[in-house]
Amino acid sequence: MAAAAGLKAATRFFFHSPSDLLCHICNEPSQQRRNPRLRTKRSKAAHLSVAGGEYLVEEFGWGVRRMTVSGDEMRKVADVQAEAFHVPVSFFNDVFFEFFKAEVLSALIYRIRNSPSDRYACLVAESIRAPVLLPGTVEGLAGVVDCTVQSDEDVLRHLQGAEEYLYVSGIAVRSKFRRQKVGTVLLKACDALSQLWGHDYIALRAYEDDLVAQKLYSKAGFKIVSIDPHWITWIGKKKRILMIKSFVL
Rounded to an integer, what is the distance from CA 103 to the centroid of its chain?
15
Amino acid (1-letter code) at residue 142: A
Rounded to an integer, what is the distance from CA 57 to the centroid of its chain?
16
Whether 112 and 69 have beta carbons less than 8 Å apart is answered as yes
Of 55, 165, 207, 217, catalytic = 217
Three-state DSSP state, 168: strand
Residue 59 burial (CB count, 10 A)? 14
Burial class of residue 185 in the structure, from the number of CB atoms within 10 Å of its CB (0-12 exposed, 13-18 middle, 19+ buried): buried
Burial class of residue 184 in the structure, from the number of CB atoms within 10 Å of its CB (0-12 exposed, 13-18 middle, 19+ buried): middle
How far is 236 from 33, CA to CA, in rounded Å? 43
How far is 64 from 230, CA to CA, in rounded Å? 37
How far is 29 from 159, CA to CA, in rounded Å? 35
Provide the pairing of β-strand 165-173 with 201-207: parallel
What is the 8-class DSSP label of residue 233? G
Is 217 a known active-site residue? yes
Question: Which run of H or E residues covers position 219?
Answer: helix 211-219
How far is 110 from 104, CA to CA, in rounded Å? 10
Active site residues: 217
